[in-house]
Amino acid sequence: MKQGKYIVQLTEFSLIEGIDDSSFLKASTKVQIRFLKKQKGFVSNQLLKTDGNQWVGITHWNTKDEAQDATKAFLIHPSSYPYVLMISPNTIRECYLHSPQPH
């Protein structure tokens, strides 16, 4: 990942009961290849999981606008449907973080 100023999109969520990790990870890989890596401003992405059913997606973008534009496009992109349908909608929390500038 390049050094410098960037935006971190932090997304926390849980899977719908009965969805196994392997199926979800396959859907995640397809989304990264078919959609995420093609988005303007995309830098990198990492998917992490707690010992329970909580997942955290950490995505680095060049700008917040690019992150938000990609999120809007993601929700209607055909490759995202299997991935999105595995996530419990009422568990999604998202925020955008940035490196503070030195004074």
In this predicted model, what pLDDT tens digit does every residue of 5-18 receive, in sequence order? 889 999 999 999 99
**Coil/strand/helix, residue 52:** coil
- Comparing CA positions, the residue from 19, 31, 22, 90 lying closest to residue 57 is 31
Break the chain into its structural domains and give their ranges: 7-98
CA separation, residue 95 to residues 5, 8, 71 (Å)? 17, 8, 12
CATH code of the domain made up of 7-98? 3.30.70.100
- Comparing CA positions, the residue from 95, 92, 94 lying closest to residue 14 is 92
Element (H, E) at 9: strand 7-14
Model confidence, pTM: 0.87
In this predicted model, what pLDDT tens digit does every residue of 17-68 receive, in sequence order? 999 999 999 999 999 999 999 999 999 999 999 988 899 999 999 999 999 9
Q: Which residues contact 19 (CB under 8 A, 6 or more apart)?
A: 86
Cβ neighbours of 36 (radius 10 Å): 20
